[in-house]
Structure 1
Amino acid sequence: MSWQSYIDNMKTVDASGKIPVAEAAICGMAPESVWASTPGFANITVEEIKRLAGNRKDFGQSGPTIAGMKCRLIRDNLDTDGLFCLDLKSSADAEGNAYNVCVGKSLKALVIAKGTKEANGGQVSGKVFSVVDYLRKAAM
């Protein structure tokens, strides 16, 4: 199975006619590893995957990092049936831009996407949800 095709699919245009996803990755949860990614998410660490897939109770005070990018919690529905997503916002970069980030959870993997500067959270989570929904139906 080529996991890269899922990444490529997330980086296509949406209903607005724009490409809302700038960076994306699919990471296995057991064992923790990056299965496929864009270059900006290639350095997601095992510790970051464990933290995203594990206990997230402290995310309100101390959000996660993804490929070294500090994030803050917006909404945690990662374990909610039918949603399976964690909505985050990145810290501002050197130019002052903050990005919407969504983490989705299938049965065996985390699907992670960082939006473009113009993308709203719904556009990013829509892309993630479509992959997660497909993987869950395929028991992946």
Structure 2
Amino acid sequence: MHTMSWDLYITKLMAADTNGIYPVKEAAICGYDGSIWASTEKLKCITPEEIKKLIGDTCCFHQCGPHVAGMKCMMIKDEYDVPEVGCLQLKSKSETGESYNICVGKALQCVIIAQGTKEASGGQLTNMVHPIVKYLIGLKY
């Protein structure tokens, strides 16, 4: 179905940023149909329903945030419609008290999801996700 090697994009997301910092802990690329094109181990359990909710109407996310691979999230910033950003910033909430920034970038046929390390900011994740979103849009993905 997909002629590209999507794993290379996961590798790129997991790489060091321009400051030599590795902000992304987990990553996935998923089709709008809910299929997982490539993923790190922890995000392999993201469901088609979760993916479809992420690409749908985000207006209710302020009251009832989405789930990402079973993690309850709250919306921090919705910039899907901002061309220079094209991303949704979320914060996970876990029972153990740990929380992580999560960035979801929406291309034409897929979403790119990056979960940060404990130290990573939403901006650092957006800086990793947005260039890939922009590139994939250019390729009509």
TM-score tier by shorter-chain length is over 0.9
Match of 1:6 among 9, 12, 17: 9
- CA distance in 1 between partners of 2:34 and 2:122 (Å): 26
**3-state DSSP of counterpart to 1:42:** helix
Aligned pairs for 1:1-140 within 5 A: 1-29=4-32, 31-94=33-96, 96-140=97-141
Q: 1:137, 1:77 → 2: CA distance?
A: 19
TM-score (norm 1): 0.94
Tell me if structure 1 keeps the 8 A contact 2:85–2:126: no
Greater shift, 48-57 or 76-85, is seen at 76-85
Q: Which runs of 5+ in 1 are unaligned?
A: none
* CA displacement 1:53-84 (0-9 Å, x = unmatched): 11222100000000001100011111333321
CA displacement at 1:93 relative to structure 2? 4.8
Query: What CA distance in whole angstroms lies between the structure 1 residues aligned with 2:47 and 2:34?
Result: 8
| Identity between Structure 1 and Structure 2 (%) | 49
Distance 1:11 1:83 in 2: 19
Aligned residues: 138
How far apart are residue 121 of structure 1 and its match?
Answer: 1.1
State the shift of 1:107 in Å.
0.6
Unmatched 5+ residue regions in structure 2?
none
Q: Is the 8 A contact 2:77 2:88 kept in 1?
A: yes
Q: TM-score, normalised by structure 2?
A: 0.93
Partner Cα distance (1:19, 1:93) in 2: 25
